[in-house]
């Protein structure tokens, strides 16, 4: 059974940093692209970042580029999102999501069949 379990969500002051983790199980982690999607309170879904199975290629939304860094440790089946210079509008539930394939193999690297339960991040003083 595929499971994705996020952790690391917290209350942080504006300008602060935070690292989210997503522990994966039930599939061969290194063979799939992984993505972070966020949802601000009462709002819709916003794509944040994607990383390929190898970890060599990453993609970012303009709203987080240069502030957030996605990474993965395939030896530990874990996905990360390092967030810095946090702003109030980064307040959201952050979901990790598994793609149906890896980048470069098919178009299925950019839609998501399994999601974690979400990690809440609140940026406030």
Partner 1 sequence: DVQMTQSPSSLSASVGDRVTITCRASQSIARYLNWYQQKPGKAPKLLIYSASTLQSGVPSRFSGSGSGTAFTLTIGSLQPEDFATYYCQQSYNTPITFGQGTRLDIK
CA 75 remoteness from chain centre: 18
- Rounded to whole angstroms, how far apart are CA atoms 16 and 113? 32
Single residue of 66, 75, 107, 125 touching partner 1 by CB under 8 A: 107
For residue 41, the minimal CB distance to partner 1 (Å) is 12
The binder of partner 1 chosen from 2, 11, 45, 88 (CB under 8 A): 45
Euclidean distance between CA atoms 41 and 61, whole angstroms: 19
- Binding flag, residue 27, partner 1 (CB under 8 A): no
Q: How far apart are CA 11 and CA 18, in angstroms?
A: 9
Q: List CB contacts of 39: < 8 A, sequence separation 6 or more.
A: 45, 46, 92, 93, 95, 118
**Could you say whether residue 108 binds partner 1 (CB under 8 A)?**
yes
Q: Which two tokens stand for residue 25?
A: 């199980």
State yes or no: residue 40 binds partner 1 (CB under 8 A). Answer: no
- Of 16 and 23, the one with the shorter C-beta distance to partner 1 is 23
Structure tokens at 97: 């999501």
Residue with smaller CB distance to partner 1, 14 or 111:
111
Of 80 and 109, nearer to partner 1 (C-beta) is 109
The footprint of partner 1 (CB under 8 A) covers 35, 37, 44-47, 50, 59, 61-62, 95, 100, 107-108, 110-113, 115-118
């Amino acid at each position: 059974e595929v499971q994705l379990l996020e952790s690391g969500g917290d209350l942080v002051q504006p300008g602060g940093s935070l690292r989210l983790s997503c522990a994966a199980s039930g599939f061969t982690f290194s063979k799939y692209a992984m993505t972070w999607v966020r949802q601000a309170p009462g709002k819709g879904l916003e794509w944040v970042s994607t990383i390929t199975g190898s970890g060599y290629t990453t993609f970012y939304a303009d709203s987080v580029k240069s502030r957030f860094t996605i990474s993965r440790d395939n030896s530990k089946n874990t996905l990360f999102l390092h967030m810095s210079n946090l702003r109030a509008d980064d307040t959201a539930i952050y979901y990790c999501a598994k793609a149906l394939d890896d980048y470069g193999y098919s178009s299925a690297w950019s839609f998501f069949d399994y999601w974690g339960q979400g990690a809440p991040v609140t940026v406030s003083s």
